[in-house]
Amino acid sequence: MPSYDSPLPTPSPRFLVSDLLETLETYLSAEQQRAVYSAYLFAAEAHDGQWRQSGEAYIFHPLAVAKILADMRLDYQTLMAALLHDVIEDTPTAKEQLAQQFGPEVAHLVDGVSKLDKVKFSSRAESEASNFQKMFLAMAQDIRVILVKLADRLHNMRTLSAMKPASARRKAHETLEIYAPIAQRLGIACLHWELEHWCFLTLYPWRYQIINRAIRRTQMQRTERIQQIISLIQQRLQAHDLPALVTLESLRVFAVYRKAHLQMDTLHTSLNQIELKIVVKSRQLGDCYRAIGILHASYKPIPGHLKDYIAIPKTNGYQALHTLLACSEKLNILARIQNSEMEQVAQMGIAAHWCYNMPIHPSGHTSYYRAEKWINGLLELQKNIGDSQEFIENVKMDLFPDEVYVVTPKGEIITLPRGATPVDLAYAIHTDIGNTCIGAKVDNRRVHLLKPLLNGQSVQILTDPKARPSPDWLNFVVTGKARTQIKLYFKNTPKLDQGNLAQVSLHPTSLAIKSTDGLAVSFAACCHPIPDDAIAGIFSPGLGMVVHLANCPHLLASPQCWPMEWSSTTQTEFPVEIWVKVEEKLGVLALVSAAIAEQQCNIEQILIEMQPDNTRLLKLVISVRNRLHLADVLREIKTLAAVKSVSRSNTNLLPTLATPYKPQRARPRRLPHPL
């Protein structure tokens, strides 16, 4: 595996069969080496005359895949399958032939990574999902299938530059969505990081260059300083009879990007944090805790960052103690303390079972056992789903069971239950942040407050000191803390009655509509408020905030209402009802419509009522941008000779209080996005 202490290898290191054999000699028996070599000969013959898009002979691809797995010291059958992995799909070889020649296990592994016949599918999505499902089923029988698949994908990612840009991007997307997370879920850090690396480089080449350059520059500047820190830590541990190997973990471009999400100031904050891996030689768990004590005596720990993943391993089996140390004003050290066994699992995950002959503990502490449980759980689920596309969606969801980890702009990782929204996160950070949150940026893009957060996203909560929680949030928050705090807020906030409404409307504490991002807002059909009207909202369960004119009788009848303001950036058109009294004359409706169209205005509804005095009343719902626009329309209509009067409906006839209020009549409508 490439070392991350140096820049990554050139995109396509070409491995020869001699390179592979050299690696095999280090850990396989002579007989096993011979078996691998015979698989190589078979594959070379089968692929003879085939070429990759890069222009090299096809066999170099399976060779490279086998070399990736040999470097992970996987067993000889996996390596044979790696060499043969494309012969069923791309050559006339049948599974039975492989089974006869190399045994049923190798044949099963090869078949598991082979795609189904393309002819069967109507769309690419369907074929991709079906192939994935097939591979997943094969993997449940033998988990080594996924190791071959991941190594295959890794080599394809390394050689992506030979592909057309559109296909390269599609592959990178797929890898980032499913294969990199699977590698992570199985704990195989080396594969996971390199897959992410190539995805990021393919999808965002410029961002990659900028961050990479910044990383190299900072690293060069502080080489000496870090050497001093490393030897100091090593000496202190040694002095306490705790020999340990301390190494600097190289900053990974994608990890920095995710954390800094491209804001230069936070990019520097994340560059100011280095990661040290401290592997204590002792196998006693207690010694990891002792080591952390010694570190805390040497550097000041930053409160809130001590994580005990030894007692509570991560879902993929990862174990370590984490602590953040303040070294100087511009340098923090994230120290990860492990013993050598934990370090092996952290690097190799399920592959550690072969790589280091690690036993499988049914106690559930190895990644292998955890992975098996995960796969079996998904298979259970699969029984109830016939559709392969639904299955792949489920796998994506389940790649991070139970919890999501999100990153705050300060680099803090916060764990939330699955389904948690930005509002949950805001309350998890601090009640005041929750109470004043108005929106969120996920990976630097604005999202609605009710959008569930996903694993690994960096989330920034936007607040406005004038904002306040919305009762509607109770419909979607999932954490107890958010729920309790929102309820508490409304319990402690005095209800507004009509008497102080006017007063509050004038006060700046009013709730600006622009800050209701994420809250369902609809506009009442009884009074049709439009921008620049004085407005207030009534909260209605299921509909969210329903906005009425401030003098709408329904509002006056409601026990609790919220003063609101229009956002100055409102761009959409809003419906408003106008009444036009006209003489009964041929073509009058056409004249009125033409006048309305003249002002770039659409008619949404027309109702014509005969009046006792032989005139007609046209009740029109038109859409306008604001009051000014409406005034222009009314003026245009007034110029027509056949028009006796024109007005906005509700200025001369408001619904009476006797009419029961029906919120269903309101037109649900999302507010225009403030950004």
- Residue nearer to Mn ion on the CB measure, 47 or 441: 47
Least spacing, CB of residue 344 vs Mn ion, in Å: 28
Least spacing, CB of residue 19 vs Mn ion, in Å: 18
Q: What are the start-end ranges of the H helices in 7-48?
A: 17-25, 30-46
DSSP-derived pairing of the beta strands 643-648 and 574-583? antiparallel
Q: Which of 75, 128, 152, 287 binds Mn ion (CB under 5 A)?
A: 152
- Residue nearer to Mn ion on the CB measure, 170 or 468: 170
Q: What are the start-end ranges of the H helices in 123-263?
A: 124-141, 144-158, 165-174, 180-185, 189-203, 205-221, 223-239, 253-260
Q: Is 472 a catalytic residue?
A: no
Least spacing, CB of residue 152 vs Mn ion, in Å: 4
Least spacing, CB of residue 180 vs Mn ion, in Å: 17
Query: Quick one: tokens of 598?
Result: 């003249």
Beta bridge partner(s), residue 546: 522, 538
Candidate segments 152-160, 178-186, 418-426, 488-496, binder of Mn ion by CB under 5 A: 152-160
* Residue 353 DSSP SS3: helix
Is the CB of residue 141 less than 8 Å from the CB of residue 156? no
Q: Is 89 a catalytic residue?
A: yes
Least spacing, CB of residue 88 vs Mn ion, in Å: 11
Residues 606, 299: Cα–Cα separation, whole Å: 76
- Residue nearer to Mn ion on the CB measure, 86 or 533: 86
Count of residues of this chain found to bind Mn ion when the rule CB under 5 A is applied: 2
Residues 81-100 that bind Mn ion (CB under 5 A): 86
Q: Which amino acid is at 151?
A: A
Of 414, 455, 366, 377, the closest CA to residue 186 belongs to 366
String of contacts with Mn ion for each residue 494-533, x by CB under 5 A = ----------------------------------------
- Residue nearer to Mn ion on the CB measure, 75 or 152: 152
Beta bridge partner(s), residue 338: 279
- Residue nearer to Mn ion on the CB measure, 179 or 473: 179
CA 175 centroid distance within chain: 14
Is the CB of residue 391 less than 8 Å from the CB of residue 385? yes
Least spacing, CB of residue 159 vs Mn ion, in Å: 10
- Residue nearer to Mn ion on the CB measure, 95 or 466: 95
Candidate segments 78-86, 136-144, 255-263, 290-298, binder of Mn ion by CB under 5 A: 78-86
Least spacing, CB of residue 43 vs Mn ion, in Å: 11
Q: Which of 19, 89, 105, 174 is catalytic?
A: 89
Least spacing, CB of residue 61 vs Mn ion, in Å: 6
Residues 621-640 that bind Mn ion (CB under 5 A): none
Residues 563, 501: Cα–Cα separation, whole Å: 7
Q: Which residues contact 150 (CB under 8 A, 6 or more apart)?
A: 179, 182, 183, 188, 191, 195
Question: Is 111 one of the binding residues for Mn ion (CB under 5 A)?
Answer: no
String of contacts with Mn ion for each residue 112-151, x by CB under 5 A = ----------------------------------------
Task: Say what the alpha-carbon torsion angle 41, 44, 45, 46 is, to the nearest 10 degrees.
Answer: 120
- What is the number of the residue whose Cβ is closest to Mn ion? 152
Q: Which of 19, 56, 90, 105 is catalytic?
A: 90
String of contacts with Mn ion for each residue 282-311, x by CB under 5 A = ------------------------------
> What is the number of other CB atoms lying within 10 angstroms of the CB of residue 508?
8
- Residue nearer to Mn ion on the CB measure, 86 or 111: 86
Of 576, 562, 580, 550, the closest CA to residue 628 belongs to 576
- Residue nearer to Mn ion on the CB measure, 62 or 663: 62
Residues 538, 511: Cα–Cα separation, whole Å: 12
Of 251, 168, 242, the closest CA to residue 212 belongs to 251
Q: What are the start-end ranges of the H helices in 507-552?
A: none
Least spacing, CB of residue 86 vs Mn ion, in Å: 5
Residues 21, 360: Cα–Cα separation, whole Å: 29
- Residue nearer to Mn ion on the CB measure, 86 or 577: 86
Instruction: Give the catalytic positions in this structure.
Output: 89-90
Contact positions vs Mn ion (CB under 5 A): 86, 152
